[in-house]
């Protein structure tokens, strides 16, 4: 089941949360910085040991001080003009996150932020469509998939893409 909510992803009670990470996995602004702050300094050490991570890929670490037992660090693409494979890379980012979660073996619930829609400037409507498509294709493997929106606009776009 796909659940669309507006909340702080760092407070969600799920097995894994997905971090919209940068390639260096070093923490940054937006959701990435919020997850690193909430998880504590151990997350930076654990994630940076797995760097670099290419756009379209994902890696996993423990969740440390988070409610979530795991953090899946997913690197989405920077939007340039849509002609450089950005939609395919974003789809890969979601698909790789699901693959990493399944490979872990004990993740049944997972929450995603709106990957690449902040500083990476990916168009929100297209990103929501890609996210919902990927979530629908993988939902049979999970008991709960959460699309966690930070604002009302993203929440509405998720609903429109799911309908």
Active site residues per annotation? 32
Angle between helix 124-138 and helix 152-162 axes, rounded to 10 deg: 50
Q: Which two tokens stand for residue 15?
A: 């097995």
């Amino acid at each position: 089941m796909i659940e669309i909510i507006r909340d702080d992803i760092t407070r969600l009670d799920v097995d894994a949360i997905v971090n919209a990470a940068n390639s260096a996995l070093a923490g940054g602004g937006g959701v990435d910085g919020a997850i690193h702050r909430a998880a504590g300094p151990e997350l930076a050490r654990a994630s940076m040991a797995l760097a670099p991570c290419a756009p379209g890929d994902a890696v996993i670490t423990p969740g440390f001080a988070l409610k979530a037992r795991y953090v899946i660090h997913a690197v989405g693409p920077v939007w340039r003009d849509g002609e450089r494979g950005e939609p395919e890379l974003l789809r890969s980012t979601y698909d790789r996150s699901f693959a990493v979660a399944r490979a872990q073996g004990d993740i049944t619930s997972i929450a995603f932020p709106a990957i690449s829609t902040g500083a990476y400037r990916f168009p929100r409507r297209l990103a929501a469509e890609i996210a919902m498509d990927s979530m629908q294709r993988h939902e049979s493997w999970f008991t709960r998939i959460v699309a966690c929106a930070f604002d009302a606009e993203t929440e509405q776009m998720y609903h429109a893409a799911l309908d």
